[in-house]
Structure 1
């Protein structure tokens, strides 16, 4: 059986995902809309958290990706390739959409393709996510400003230790 990351890689090559990548490209030029989408994604991810298992760790890292895209759009963090931001935003849009390869209304299985794609993204862009987390640690005031629109339920305390990306089993 293939790993989540391998399944996510397969999804990333699917024509349906290219629709989300195109949408991400159009959306990136509209910061206000990006913030709205990021808030929706953060709310969806927050509803799926449970326990301290690898899925929770993956979702925690994806919340970091929400903050990363938000910091990029606000201009606070630009030490990353635009293509990486587009891929991250494409994954977040795919996660948000109820219409994907396995519809989200199917219990458990409906979220598995989302988790697979997230797993692929985290594994592929592990260094960039780690670099952003380090930047967040040293630029807490700017990071707090970038996350001010995130609902309190999903605003992440950047002073609290979060699982290392390598702990997700993608290295």
Structure 2
């Protein structure tokens, strides 16, 4: 089966436009992330090849929406949320209700998003590790 790359990118662009609007409402953005996470968990077996990338995309988007991490460029967070919106949509280039094939275009978009924002994600991982380090070192003597 050959993917129609242009059609997928067109749908993804629409998802990014929706992401721009949704990001203006913290409640809607959080709900979108939560819904996409639920769908991901339900399809974890089929997403095994991109699972670690997906977890990172969820984490950075959640931390951004909560205001915990804002050092990511707006265009990157829009791309990430746009990818999650595309993933969440049951009606896209290959409808999700088609067994086995339904998530192929979703995985394509998620990989595309990941590649677009990989440098921002590396910075996020460093920040996240530092946050985790502070929690782990809570009993360290203060200076």
TM-score (norm: length of structure 2): 0.82
Whether 1:47 and 2:39 are equivalent positions in the alignment is no
Determine the C-alpha separation between the residues in 1 that align with 2:65 and 2:113: 19
Whether 1:18 and 2:44 are equivalent positions in the alignment is no
Whether 1:34 and 2:26 are equivalent positions in the alignment is no
Tell me which stretches of 4 or more aligned residues in structure 1 moved more than 6 Å. none
Instruction: Indicate the residue corresponding to 1:95 in structure 2.
Output: 87
Alpha carbon RMSD of aligned pairs, Å?
2.6
Higher helix proportion: 2
3-state DSSP of counterpart to 1:106: coil
TM-score (norm: length of structure 1): 0.70
Determine the C-alpha separation between the residues in 2 that align with 1:12 and 1:26: 20
3-state DSSP of counterpart to 1:139: helix
Greater Rg by CA: 2
**1:24 touches 1:86 (CA, 8 Å); kept in 2?**
yes
Match 1:61 to one of 42, 46, 53: 53
**2:12 touches 2:109 (CA, 8 Å); kept in 1?**
no
**2:8 touches 2:105 (CA, 8 Å); kept in 1?**
no
Structure 2: give runs of 5+ residues left out of the alignment.
Answer: 136-143
Q: Which structure would you say has the larger RCO, counting Cα contacts within 8 Å and 6 or more residues apart?
A: 1
